[in-house]
Amino acid sequence: MKKKKFLTLGLAALAVSSFIITNTFAKTMADGMPSASFSVNDNVSDYYFKSRIYQGTYHWNVTPTPAAIGRSSTSTNTINKLAGGATSSYGLYAAKYINGSRGFDIYINYQAIDSLVSGRSLTDRDKAYESVIVHELGHALSLADLGFLDTRSSIMSEYIKRYNLWTPQQYDINDVNAFY
Amino acid sequence: MKNGKLKKVILSVITFTLLTGGFMTYKNFNKPNVVTSIQANYLMPDTLNDLIANSNYVVIGEVLNKGNTFKVNMANYVVDSNNKPADRAALYVKHTVSNISITQSLKGDLKKGNIIEVMQEEFDNIKHDKSLSKKVYSKGDKYIFFLNKFTPKSELEIKDYKTVKYLPINPYQGEIQITGDKIDIIKEEFPMFKNGDAVQDVVTQIQESLK
C-alpha cells in the first residue's frame, strides 16, 4: 500500500515538474533568441563591413518593437564576412548553443552579393549588404523566411532583389511584437 | 490529504524540479558549440528573364553518374574577423558532385558533348521552405540547368574543391527535370512555366529571352 502511494506521488511530482520545465524553457527552444535584446560581435577589421553591421542593427533598433541589438567585441553572437567557398546563398543564419546558451552565427557572402550588385551604384551595394544583414538578424528575432511567391512586403522575403528593400516592414514588426 | 503527506508531495516536487533543472543546466554547459538549425537566404528569381540573367550557363544535360559527396566547413572561409574562431560553431555544407554530359547549350561557352561537374549544396539541419523541393541527381536524369561557374582560387578552396565546378543558381531552381518531351516542375519553384510544358517550348522561351 505504501509503495503504491509512493509511486503515485512520484508520478504526480514528475508530471508537475515536466509541466513547469517545459513551459519555462519552451521559448528558448525556438531557433531565434529567447529575448529581443541581445548583442552581436562587430569586431571586424573591414570598416565597410563594420558600418553595414552598424546600419543593420540600427534598422531594427528604430522599429517600434522590443528589438534592442547592441554591438560588442566580446559577444559570442558573430556576424562574419564570408569570402570564398562555394555556396549560392547570400546569407546564412546558424542557430547554435554556446556555453549552454542560445546564440547564432551569421555569414554574409561577399562574392554572391557583389555579383548581384555588379554594375549598380555604391548606394545599391550598401543597401544589398544591409538588407541581407537585417534579414539574418530577423531570424535572430525569431522570424522565419517568407514562403517563395508570398508577395507581402517583408525583409524576410526570399525573392526580392536585396537592394530594393533593406529595412524591416510592417509585417516583420508585427511578427516581432507578437513573438516577444 | 493530511498535512504530513502534503508536505511530502510538495517536497518531492521541489526536489525533483531542482534536480532536473540542475541536470539540464549541467548538460547545457557541457554541450559543444553546435549549430542546431540553419536558415539560408538565396536569390529566388520569379521571372524567366531574372532566372537567365543570374545564370551564366543555361544548358540541357544528362546525369552520367550518381554523385559523390563531401563536406566543407564554411566557417573556415571567414575573413577580416577579430572574433575568436572558437566562438563560431562549425558550419558544414554537404556537396554532391555529379558528372553531366551537355546535350545542348543555350547560354555560356559550354558545348554539346562537354562533360562538367555540377555541385549541389545542402546544409545539415537546414529549414527549407515547405513548398519547395530539394532533389539529388540520379544517373540518367535529364535536366535544363541554370548554373554558375566556380573556380577554386585560394589554397583552401583548391584543397576543398580541387577542380572547377558548376553550381546550380540555388538549391531549388538550379534545374528543371525533363521527363520524355515535357518538363516536370513544382509550380511554386518555377512560376514562369507550367508543369507539363513541352521542353521545346521552354527552350524557345529561353532563346527568346536571350535575344
Q: Is residue A1 over pLDDT 80?
A: no
CATH class of A33-179: alpha beta
Among A20, A80, A95, whose Cβ lies nearest the Cβ of B17? A20
Q: Is A31 helix (H, G, I), strand (E, B) or coil?
A: coil
Residue B67: predicted pLDDT: 82
For A84, which residue in chain B has the nearest alpha carbon?
Answer: B77
Residue A85 to residue B72, Cβ atoms within 8 A: yes
Least confident piece of the model among A142-146, A172-176, B13-17, B126-130: B126-130
Please report the DSSP string for chain B in residue order.
--HHHHHHHHHHHHHHHHHHHHHHHHHHHTS-SEEEEEEEEE----SHHHHHHT-SEEEEEEE-SPPEEEEEEGGGGEESB-S-GGGSPP-EEEEEEEEEEEEEEEESS--TT-EEEEEEEEETTB---TTS------TT-EEEEEEEEE---SHHHHHHH-S-EEEESSTTTSEEEEETTEEE--TTT-TTS-TT-BHHHHHHHHHHHH-
> Of all helices (H) and strands (E), which one includes residue A104?
strand A101-109
Residue B36 to residue A105, Cβ atoms within 8 A: no
* pTM of the complete model: 0.81
Min Cα–Cα distance to chain B from A28, Å = 12
For A49, which residue in chain B has the nearest alpha carbon?
Answer: B80
Min Cα–Cα distance to chain B from A43, Å = 5
Could you read off the pLDDT tens digit of each residue along chain B, which spans 211 residues?
667 788 888 888 888 878 877 666 555 555 557 888 888 888 888 899 999 999 999 999 999 998 889 999 998 999 887 777 677 888 899 999 999 999 999 999 999 999 999 999 988 777 766 666 777 899 999 999 999 999 999 999 999 999 999 999 998 899 999 999 999 998 888 989 988 899 999 999 999 999 8
Q: Is residue A21 over pLDDT 60?
A: no
Among A89, A97, A98, whose Cβ lies nearest the Cβ of B87? A98
Q: Domain ranges in chain B?
A: 1-31, 48-210
Q: Cell 540542475 maps to which residue?
A: B22
Residue B14: predicted pLDDT: 82
Residue B28 to residue A97, Cβ atoms within 8 A: yes
> A144 contacts in B (CB within 8 Å)?
39, 127
Q: Domain B48-210 belongs to what architecture?
A: Beta Barrel (2.40)
- CA pair distance A20, A14, nearest whole angstrom: 10
Min Cα–Cα distance to chain B from A50, Å = 10
ipTM, 2 dp: 0.80
A138 and A145 Cβ atoms separated by less than 8 Å: no
pLDDT top residue among B39 and A80:
A80
Flag whether residue B20 sits within 8 Å of chain A, measured between CB atoms: yes
Cα distances (Å, whole numbers) of residue A144 to A84, B137, B200: 26, 28, 38
> B88 contacts in A (CB within 8 Å)?
78, 80, 105
List B residues 162-201 in contact with A (Cβ-Cβ < 8 A): 165, 167-172, 174, 188-189, 191
> A26 contacts in B (CB within 8 Å)?
none
